[in-house]
A and B are shown apart, each in its own frame.
Chain A
Amino acid sequence: MAATVSVSKGVFAFKRSKGKTQNDATTLSALDFWGQDEEADIKKVTHKNYVHCWKSITQTLNNLQDKIHAKVFEELVAFVKSAGENMRRKDYGETNDIPTACLVTGVNMPDHNSIFESLVRLLTEGATPHIARLRSRDCTTLRGAVYKMITQLMDQGEVVDPEMYEEVATTGPELKRAQCTMPVLTAWYKELSSSSAEKSSPTKSGSCGQMTARTPKKALASPCKALGSPKKNIAYPMSERAGSSHSGKSPRKRMKLSEKPCFNKYHTLPLVVILEDVESFPSNVLNDLILICSNHIQNLPIVLVFGVATTTAAVHRSLAQDASACVAMEVFQAQPSTHYLNHVIEQVLMSDKVPFHIGGRPFKLLLDIFLYSDLSVEKFVKGLKVCMMEHFLGNSSSFLCCSASKRASLIKAMTPAQLDIIRKLPSFRTYVEKCPPKEQAALLLDEKVSKETIVTLLSQLESWYIRFCCLVKVVQVLTSTLPLCPLGRQVREVLATCLSQPLVDTEEFQKAAKLIKLMSREEMLPILRNILEILQDKLSNDEEMSDMHNELSLLVGRLSSLDQLDQVIEEPNRDEEPTVSLQASDRFVLKEKLQELAKKKSRKTNMYDSLRCDVVELLVKTFEQHLQPPSSQPLHEIMFLESSSSVKRLLVGVPRPALTTALSNPHHYLQCDCCQLQDPSSILTTLPDISVAYKLHLECGRLVNLYDWMQAFISVIDDEDEDSAKKTVDQQLQARFVQAVSELQFLGFIKPTKRKTDHVARLTWGGC
């Protein structure tokens, strides 16, 4: 392999050796590199499991993606349709307004691509096949923008209409850049509408016979002939815009208007132009594009869709007055990404469809990244993928992490070595230790017994998780409306707590329980009914929970039937209510009296109170029993990823801390005997050169004197320079110093400066 060092070249291409067959090189599969030192068959199985898990997650996500924005997309499609119809009407003629939908998408940029993809899909299905997606990166110039727009619009038509495609194919499949002008588009559109009209109503073909007689080739070619250079093409619509905005009716325009009836009659579908990131479009391009579109609105039913990440005010800011006058905007608000995330958590993480589950710490990590970094669901899912890969790569017992149907055969076919892997799991060991001694021996020695136990344990684990998720939802419903929300409002917060520690022991839950005990009946009943519904939904076939469900429904029944009874009890209460007369003598006296009264007011435990207590007790008991973290369950290692450190290392890069650590304490990485520092700020002669230079430069202010630096450096590095004259510095030492300094410059700690001779400027503050 050739060296990649050159003074004249920065890029080196290596084509794969020709000897290899094409097939070999194109199939790049992670399986070849999966795992490191495991047995081949385990490797295969874990990879298969991973692929399966990931597939089912992506499927769920795909379904979700469309659903999540379903409402706003429906509205948008309806808007596009109605806009198209409006433009078909004759009275639309006089205005130059472009109907525009402004889709506020939120700041989570990475998710936008998928949003627009599904929007395009829905639009093609529901409204029109003519869609152009413009991104700001393609549209740095007006010419580029128009080119992109027109090619995409016309391409769509070709795909939809195979006949047209053939005809266009004769002119060449690709339009030349110079040919992409609005007149071409207009001609193409007329052609399209008339041909479709022909198809739909052949009897009428006579009336517009001259129109259809024109071949597309001519239609495409003629405007180009008329307009010479590409530059003129751009200039042409602009000048027309200028003309029309002043006089309103240029002769050309009148001619177009006269053609309009034909157009109106045989109109097809609107042309949708989606500008995905309006904010980052250059404003002049955006302005001109809008003005051009508005000039052709008579002939081309263009509908714009703006994707806006911030607010609609941003659009108005970037548009000039004349352009924004041409835009009739309607705002559509997409769902916030947190909403989407909640669904993802419920459908992916809390579902039993995917055998892989995420533990408390990794989940919290992913949540933190989402909430504090970019609010991007896509990134959350990527993080989930990394978690899965780590689980399946790093945990050999994960070969059993698959759907229940496959698992049976897998367990049956398990080799003794594989069985040992399972037996060595810490959670299995603790399980064995808890068993009576008789069973212990069997579990550890008898293959059959342990296999059976594994099967039952795993199915128990699965049903436990279903119960767990259901109860998490119950907790969320129960506590989300409490003042101060001690457990958080969202399912994700409750889930994060429950996954990492036993819920009942947490301080937050104690607080919440206290507050629940203060709930009024009107507050409590609907919540409890909600809970019953959830339990009904999820746990209809779970015996353990059905008891609880029954008990709870009984209590709820009693609570609601309390209505009449309560009134009776409360009535006398009201009468009895002590009206205390107090002299306004002293605040303290008043306070004491009040406290006394409060004490005196005996807790008459009425029916409601006792019932409420029963409910809370029941719930707490259930939570205590079932809402233990997954790590308490036997064999949880197979399904749950508990450790977050490896995932964190992969997802959260720490380039700068790593650099400074390596510089200030190289021992952290080198692990050598000689460089152990007691204090991170001290210097040893054995440290790497760059580290010595770094530590010395930390002692300086903004400027570093190179000469002094070198002297200090040499006195550190060189042991026996006591008597040597300072004017002659050993070339080797000097070279080492020079190298260390230029490395620091390369890393960005210093830069050359001209403020003082032979000085460099420091670029950082701090460090030790």
Chain B
Amino acid sequence: MVPLKPLTVRFIDNTEVELISHGTNGKKISIIPLSQRSRDKRKVSRQSCAGDALELSPVQEEAEEENKDVIFKPTELLEEREGMVKNPIAFGFNTPKKRWSMLEKAGSARKTPTASPSTPTTPRLPHLLPGTPRTPASPSTPKTPRSASRTPKSKRRLSGASEAPTPYSFRKRVQERITKIVLDEDSSSSSSEEDDDDDSSSYSDSDSEEDESKENLFNSRDVSVVTPSKTPRRTPSKVAKTVLGTPGRTPSRTPGKRGRQKKIKDVEMVAKGDDYFMANGNSKAPTSDHTLNRLETPRLSPEALQSILSSMANTHLKEREALIEENVLNFPRWMTYLCEGFSIFLYGLGSKKQLLSKFQQEYLSDYDHIVINGFFPSLTLKNILNNIIEDILEHTGGLHGGQDQLDLIEATYTRPDTAPLFIIIHNLDGAMLRGEKTQAAIARLASLPRVHVLASLDHINAPLILDSHKMSQYNIVWFDATTLERYQEETSYENSLLVQQSGSLALSSLIHVFKSLTPNAKGIFMLLAKHQLEQKDNSSYTGLSFSDMYQRCRESFLVNSDLTLRAQLTEFRDHKLLRSRKGHDGVENLIIPLPPATLQDFVTQQELENE
């Protein structure tokens, strides 16, 4: 054996000994003596001081910062405080939905204080619905086949009650619990005790019932509840009755309900990244195949919609007024900030048009101002600039395009003696203002010292149009102007699936133009219209080619030369009755830009007149 050399230990510094003995900061001490390390560091800092040409006290260089530094956390910025809007609910993953969850949810609304508790359905649904956790539907869960003979109503209620597939783990837990109950209790005295049990447990009673029904569980006393799913044709009222029939269930329900909901909510708050993939991985959307055609009036006409809505009073009138009032109190502050060179951005749910108009009337009548409806579907930047130049500045003169106009406006509104201009923009995030160029131009306008911008934002992704440069040009001050008003005007330009896309406007204009045409021209147009109607079921129809058209027109003695046809077509085109497109083969295809229904109306009307 080679004798080992005795270890020699030498202490470098008192302080280090202390450190080692304390054992707290030991790992941070390296072999280099403290003094040396510090000397290196000091060298750097001294250099930085020397490099400073200013007579300021030494400012440390950023470059010096090392990774191991304590990170300066944005506590103030990210802090949540009472009374302020909370962030986390806006973002995050949600678990995928079951097929009927929406109806269940709707059912859950039934437990409102306004609804009378004696309504047979009320006690049933609330227990059933909020308790069901939103977890992925396991594909293996057998779904009861829906029969077409059922009335929609019963289907709705029933499906809400019985068809919701429940995840396996949940089922298992419930099953276990029930097994336990069965083992512990006598089946005769079960119901009231189970209630007590429920109050302390986190699962809703009705859920367990439902699961029992699903799993065909062994407890015989639950037969009455099991029935609904076993006999799907039963009407919902009967279901409700059977539920009610269970003794001692409803009265003791309320105290336990609250605690249960809270617990379930806690479960929901755990957002897992996997859920996103669960939701998106399943390519088949579990939605029903119902269409709106099941309704008697599948689509309302826009006029009807508007008239109904305007005749209908909105709820919470007083509260809405109070909200607006609150904002009106802020008007002087808005003005102050505008005067100091800030732009005011309003956000929050509800149309802010009324509010802004009020501001406009009360404060801006003495100043030049323009109002821009950002939601207007054919708004262009040129419109805005033209309005400023022609109507406000009253400048007439040839200007080359937007850049020159902007330059002129910039030159005018940087002069301190110019009258200030206020720009009110309803929906800065409107479809036509979202473009990068438009935004850049508006931001440039907003940065001018004599131009003041007041804008509202509604889209959830509206902040995406702002980058840091634009933000600083706008110089934004935000105000929460939630009004909860209807977006009636803003949405009136929207193409909703639910609104009948009537071509009434197009049809009337078509008729007007058509009346002024020569018989031959009418013939040409009718020919094209009829051809298009014949082809209306052909989805790949691109239009009638010019040569075909010419051939047909010649055959019906409508034109005698290529040129006359072209002249006629030009007239149609000018009135926007016709659109021509180059096809794949380079042939010019002619098409009437109207929906088939409108065209059909038109053709039948014309034929009637001719007869």
Contacts and interface: CB of A to CB of B under 8 A. Distances in A.
A332 interface: no
Nearest to B468: A374
A699 B497 CA distance: 20
Contact of A13 (B42, B364, B370): B370
Contacts of A32: 335
A590 B9 CA distance: 11
A442 interface: no
Query: Most chain-B CB neighbours within 10 Å: which of A373, A670, A739?
Result: A739
A539 to B, nearest CB: 13
B371 A4 contact: yes
Contacts of B322: 671
A707 B294 contact: yes
Interface string A572-590: 0000010111111000001
B10 A577 contact: yes
A747 B430 CA distance: 10
A663 interface: yes
A33 B336 contact: yes
Interface in B197-218: none
Given A371-B72, A523-B38, A657 B112 contact: no
B103 A708 contact: yes
Given A336-B62, A765-B94, A706 B490 contact: no
Nearest to A590: B7
Interface stretch (B17-25, B171-179, B225-233): B17-25
Interface string A661-700: 1111010111110110011111111101010100111111
A24 to B, nearest CB: 7
B69 A752 contact: no
A598 B7 contact: no
A11 interface: yes
Contact of A11 (B20, B319, B370, B417): B370
B105 A695 contact: yes
B109 A765 contact: no
Interface stretch (B81-89, B511-519, B592-600): B81-89
Given A653-B476, A742-B491, A26 B419 contact: yes
A678 B261 contact: yes
A134 interface: no
B478 A137 contact: no
A655 interface: yes
Contacts of B333: 33, 36, 393
Nearest to A585: B4
A16 B494 contact: no
A699 B403 CA distance: 49
Nearest to A109: B469
A222 interface: no
Contact of B9 (A365, A594, A675): A594
A735 B376 CA distance: 22
Contacts of B372: 10-12
A459 interface: no
Contacts of A1: 360-361, 365
A30 B336 contact: yes
Interface in B499-548: 499
A493 interface: yes
Contact of A683 (B109, B291, B461): B109
Contact of B72 (A488, A604, A674, A745): A488
Contact of A659 (B152, B279, B349, B365): B349
B387 interface: yes
Interface residues of B, number: 194
A483 interface: yes
A489 B65 CA distance: 8
Contacts of A39: none
A368 B388 CA distance: 38
B312 interface: yes
Interface string A531-561: 0001001000000000000000000000000
B106 A716 contact: yes
Interface stretch (B28-36, B140-148, B245-253, B570-578): B28-36
A609 B379 CA distance: 77
Given A488-B72, A526-B42, A739-B309, A599 B85 contact: no
Given A655-B463, A704-B287, A739-B309, A365 B105 contact: no
Interface stretch (A299-307, A316-324, A377-385): A377-385
Interface in A328-386: 336, 338-339, 342-343, 346-347, 361, 364-365, 367-369, 371-374, 376, 378-379, 382, 385-386
A1 B371 CA distance: 12
B398 to A, nearest CB: 11
B17 A598 contact: yes
Nearest to A375: B468
Contact of A346 (B59, B276, B336, B384): B59
Interface in A566-623: 577, 579-584, 590, 594-595, 597-599, 601, 603-604, 609
B17 A734 contact: no
A756 B86 CA distance: 35
B130 to A, nearest CB: 6
A371 B74 CA distance: 8
Interface string B442-462: 001000000000000111111
B379 to A, nearest CB: 4
A314 interface: no
B587 interface: no
B340 A379 contact: no
A144 interface: yes
B78 to A, nearest CB: 8
B335 A657 contact: no
Interface stretch (B49-57, B182-190, B553-561, B602-610): B49-57
A109 B471 CA distance: 10
B105 A369 contact: no
Nearest to A603: B14
Query: Most chain-A CB neighbours within 10 Å: which of B115, B335, B491?
Result: B491
Contacts of A365: 76-77
B489 A5 contact: yes
Contact of B101 (A9, A36, A699): A699
A729 B115 contact: no
B292 interface: yes
Contact of A16 (B18, B295, B347, B368): B368
A379 B472 contact: yes
Query: Most chain-A CB neighbours within 10 Å: which of B280, B440, B459?
Result: B459
A737 B15 CA distance: 75
B484 interface: yes
A565 interface: no
Given A484-B28, A598-B17, A660 B89 contact: yes
A765 B276 contact: yes
B582 interface: no
Given A738-B300, A748-B459, A683 B93 contact: no
Given A481-B45, A701-B96, A739 B460 contact: no
Interface in A713-739: 713, 715-716, 719, 722, 725-729, 731-732, 734-739
Interface string B352-395: 01000100110011111111111110110001100110011000
Nearest to A524: B38
A421 interface: no
B59 A342 contact: yes
B108 A683 contact: yes
A739 B378 CA distance: 22
B408 interface: no
Nearest to A473: B57
A652 interface: yes
B469 A582 contact: no
5 contacts: A16-B367, A483-B28, A650-B478, A655-B463, A746-B458
Given A15-B368, A16-B419, A393-B336, 16 more contacts: A1-B361, A4-B373, A16-B367, A25-B419, A28-B367, A379-B471, A386-B477, A518-B34, A519-B38, A648-B76, A657-B86, A702-B279, A706-B292, A742-B494, A755-B285, A759-B285
5 tightest A-B CB contacts, nearest first: A10-B376, A653-B478, A110-B472, A662-B349, A13-B391
